[in-house]
Structure 1
């Protein structure tokens, strides 16, 4: 694997960011990937790996606890499976939603799931720590996930509030 110093630092920065902000599954995956990459780097790139010039920032913020493991959402996303969730918004108003999960977002203080919400008939983001329960519906949502995600990105480009707006549900 031939990586220059900048490429090595970009990979290390990304993997360290994931280690800090991911759940246990992603943190372990990042550590495994970093170890595999380290095994095949040339000596100059090894130095960039050991002493990077860029860092992901302080890890001390912490995330609110999730009741549903993030792996449940990842599996639904990968399988393009409809997911029934019990959710409470910022004012603790409970609702049940049937969503089409598209992606997980890792923000500095919260994690969100980007989804199409059947109740609202629109794209929504849901804070993962406010999902009380999640159940697979046993059916796939129509179309391709990549097309739905592209539609969400296009909408976010037009939205001045940015790509993630949890609790606007």
Structure 2
């Protein structure tokens, strides 16, 4: 690991860990000895980071020179905490980790009063019945959607029938307790929805379908809205 990467990880750890963070905890986070950790703290201070504390007392990041202060209204802070807490509760493991990291970065950038409010927000989100975890790497699927490349995977439907699918991934949505992939299926030549917990053997093919994702997704969402409206009319 390069020294630059190690210092970046140390800054992240200082933002994330409860203050004051002990040298032992910081060393464990960055995978170095405590002796190296002390040198890295001094290196960050030399680069302009204001870090309070000393060996035996723990360290607190007072000022991050790379992240200038932000200011939010009280309601904006509550909305940020509620939204990121919901992602942490409902997202896949990578998104949940990203939500926690985003909250840590916000705390580092806010003025002290607002950072305190963020730590003790009156709104949050808890889920006692979390979604079923994906069986494949959902982060890889999201990257395939961003770059608009097709993916392949094995799939088992609700009836237990197994098929191999080659699709153009469009979006991931949460329905009830399942993360579902909205896609154009090249096997069925139509829009299809796939539960991530029923997928296996994911492969990113590299076959580009740019710039089709946005118009395809728009068409699929419109179809879903029409189906929902039709079901409501029949139920009424």
TM bracket, shorter-chain basis: 0.7 to 0.9
Say if 1:161 and 1:97 are closer, same or farther in 2 by CA, change over 3 A: farther
- Identify, as 1 or 2, the structure richer in helix: 2
- Equivalent residue in structure 1 for 2:83, among 14, 25, 40: 14
Separation (CA, whole Å) in 2 of partners of 1:108 and 1:2: 35
TM-score for the superposition, normalised by structure 1: 0.83
Say if 1:21 and 1:135 are closer, same or farther in 2 by CA, change over 3 A: same
Separation (CA, whole Å) in 2 of partners of 1:153 and 1:17: 23
RMSD of the alignment, in Å? 2.1
Say if 1:137 and 1:34 are closer, same or farther in 2 by CA, change over 3 A: same
- Equivalent residue in structure 1 for 2:140, among 66, 72, 77: 72
Partner of 1:31: 100
1:44-102: CA deviation from partner (whole Å, max 9, x where unpaired): 533441332322232x3233343312122112112211111211111111112111111
Partner of 2:50: none
Say if 1:65 and 1:56 are closer, same or farther in 2 by CA, change over 3 A: closer
- Equivalent residue in structure 2 for 1:49, among 100, 109, 118: 118
Displacement of 1:128 in angstroms is 0.2
Separation (CA, whole Å) in 1 of partners of 2:132 and 2:213: 28
Q: Which has the larger radius of gyration?
A: 2
Correspondences of 1:90-105 after superposition (within 5 Å)? 90-105=158-173
Separation (CA, whole Å) in 2 of partners of 1:108 and 1:4: 32
Indicate conservation of the 8 Å contact 2:165/2:185, yes or no: yes
Structure number with greater CO (CA < 8 Å, separation at least 6) is 1
TM-score for the superposition, normalised by structure 2: 0.62
- Equivalent residue in structure 2 for 1:112, among 175, 180, 187: 180
Separation (CA, whole Å) in 2 of partners of 1:65 and 1:30: 17
Count of residues in Structure 1 that have an aligned counterpart in Structure 2: 161
Separation (CA, whole Å) in 1 of partners of 2:223 and 2:109: 41
